[in-house]
Structure 1
Amino acid sequence: MASFDPPLVLAVHGTRSALGTRTSLELAEAVADASGADVRLGWVDIHTPTLTDTLRELGEAIVVPAFLTSGYHVTSDIPAAITAAGGLATATPLIGADVLPAVLDRLEPVGEFDAVVLAGAGSLRQRAVAEVRAVTRTLARAVDRPALAGFVTASSPTVPEAVATLRAAGHRRVAIASYLLAPGRFSEQLEDAGADAVSEPIGVHPLLVDAIVRRWRAAVAEPLTDSRPKAVND
């Protein structure tokens, strides 16, 4: 891509985990290497510079939401940040279920299992919960094993409840597939959820990097005009 292409702003959720923060920084570096774009981080929570700060500095830019579901940050915070920064940026669809192959890659090292819980962060938004349940159904078909969705917070069943349900159904070895982008407090909680094995978060996986780059390139291919939407289209 040419140097005059608009910057790629990676909208990410902040974390108080040093490892999780480093993962986001490394993801931005990997995306820059793969795309040749000017890649910036815009934190939606906890850290600075905030997404609004980053967009004010850049002006025209393409925001790629590094989120797995259409929760509040995606549907409300990101469009609000774009508006607050002057409305010159545009947002692509979130990453979402495109990363399931990466989740399966992370799950492979845990070995054999009889059933699996897809562990999502959770949300008060029913749309976001439904998206995790839909990915869980796809996961079940991919591994040819029973699968339930479980949530770390805000939604039910919780991950421990989902693990217990599968055990009560007679499944002896239950695994947890982490439907989380980066390590942190949520991923640490999965270790105590009662499963026999827990996969690593997605992290800086090539498939995630590719999904981000593809969204940016698709947006670059469209003219950035006032008629383009300034919110997330998913």
Structure 2
Amino acid sequence: MTSPILIGCAHGTRSEEGRAVVRGLLDEVREALPDVDVREAYVDVHGPELEKVIAEIPEGEGVTAVVVPLLLASGYHVHHDIANAVAPRPDIVSARALGPDAKLVKLLRQRLAEAGAAPESTVVLAPAGSSDERAQADTSKAAEMLRTAWGGPVRVGFASDIHPTVTDAVTKAREFGEEDGVTIASYLLAPGVFQERLSGAGADRVTAPLAPHPLLVSIVLDRYREACGV
């Protein structure tokens, strides 16, 4: 029996480096699943558009394809864009977003260590940001999970114009005397304009984006297998 197609669906970015990182992640997924047809799609900025990728897949019995959102929270793009794209196709299902997840917390801690963050220092978890309450709830859960695993305070600051911004969060940390060093933990998948914004937010250090990393590949496989029911 042929395994369902895996469609890795990311947001999309104008950054060539960011696009290369996402494609690299999908290449690593292909290496991990050599018997699975892995395709790429995007919900914004550029193509290939998810609807067009789905339209190229012949209808069949059972599950013919699984859309794995390469997104760190389940907001508008998951519940609207991806959900609407798969709705006309009962043979295509959508998996959960990548986060929150304990493996992401482990990855964040590795990035913090790489950046030289002291265990007692303040961390500002910095996702892109969304006005969608479901995405904000996922971010809050991720922050709480990191807070449990981390030795110092953990705040949330968004890289976009959603409040509190990452600059707001760094400023508040300084005002509250959290002077053991403030580290921005990038909660972004790949380089791009949001990662660039983090560097100018006034922290002592900024971690690299989450990708590339084997733990991300592992989460994508988890989501795919979960959606396949295996």
Determine if the TM-score, normalized by the shorter chain, exceeds 0.5.
yes
Q: Distance in 2 between matches of 1:77 and 1:133?
A: 22
**CA deviation after TM superposition for structure 1 residue 48, in Å:** 1.3
Q: For residue 164 of structure 2, what is the aligned residue in structure 1? A: 157
SS in 1 for 2:96: coil
Q: For residue 197 of structure 1, what is the aligned residue in structure 2? A: 205
- Which of 127, 131, 147 is the aligned partner of 1:120? 127
Equivalent pair of 1:118/1:147 in contact (CA under 8 Å): yes
Q: For residue 209 of structure 1, what is the aligned residue in structure 2? A: 217
Q: For residue 15 of structure 1, what is the aligned residue in structure 2? A: 13
Q: Letter of the 1:110 partner, please give it.
A: A
- Which of 27, 48, 68 is the aligned partner of 2:25? 27
Q: Distance in 1 between matches of 2:46 and 2:74?
A: 21
Q: Distance in 2 between matches of 1:119 and 1:125?
A: 16
Q: For residue 111 of structure 2, what is the aligned residue in structure 1? A: 106
Q: Letter of the 1:105 partner, please give it.
A: Q
Q: Distance in 2 between matches of 1:115 and 1:57?
A: 48
**CA deviation after TM superposition for structure 1 residue 144, in Å:** 1.0
Q: For residue 230 of structure 1, what is the aligned residue in structure 2? A: none
Equivalent pair of 1:115/1:166 in contact (CA under 8 Å): yes
Q: Distance in 1 between matches of 2:154 and 2:163?
A: 15
Equivalent pair of 1:151/1:157 in contact (CA under 8 Å): yes
**CA deviation after TM superposition for structure 1 residue 50, in Å:** 0.4
Equivalent pair of 1:129/1:155 in contact (CA under 8 Å): no
Equivalent pair of 1:102/1:207 in contact (CA under 8 Å): yes
Larger mean CA deviation between 105-114 and 177-186 belongs to 105-114
Identity of aligned residues (%): 40
Residues 17-74 of structure 1: CA distance to partner in whole angstroms, max 9, x if unpaired? 0000001110110001112211000111111110111111124311111111121101
- Which of 93, 100, 103 is the aligned partner of 1:97? 100
Q: Distance in 1 between matches of 2:53 and 2:28?
A: 19
Equivalent pair of 1:64/1:216 in contact (CA under 8 Å): yes
Q: Distance in 1 between matches of 2:44 and 2:134?
A: 21
- Which of 82, 87, 92 is the aligned partner of 1:83? 87
Q: Distance in 2 between matches of 1:212 and 1:141?
A: 24
Residues 96-148 of structure 1: CA distance to partner in whole angstroms, max 9, x if unpaired? 11222112211111113421100011111122112212211221221210010
- How high is the TM-score relative to the length of structure 2? 0.90
Q: For residue 39 of structure 1, what is the aligned residue in structure 2? A: 38
Gaps of 5+ in 2: 59-63
Q: For residue 48 of structure 2, what is the aligned residue in structure 1? A: 49
Gaps of 5+ in 1: 223-234
CA RMSD for the aligned pairs?
1.4
SS in 1 for 2:185: strand
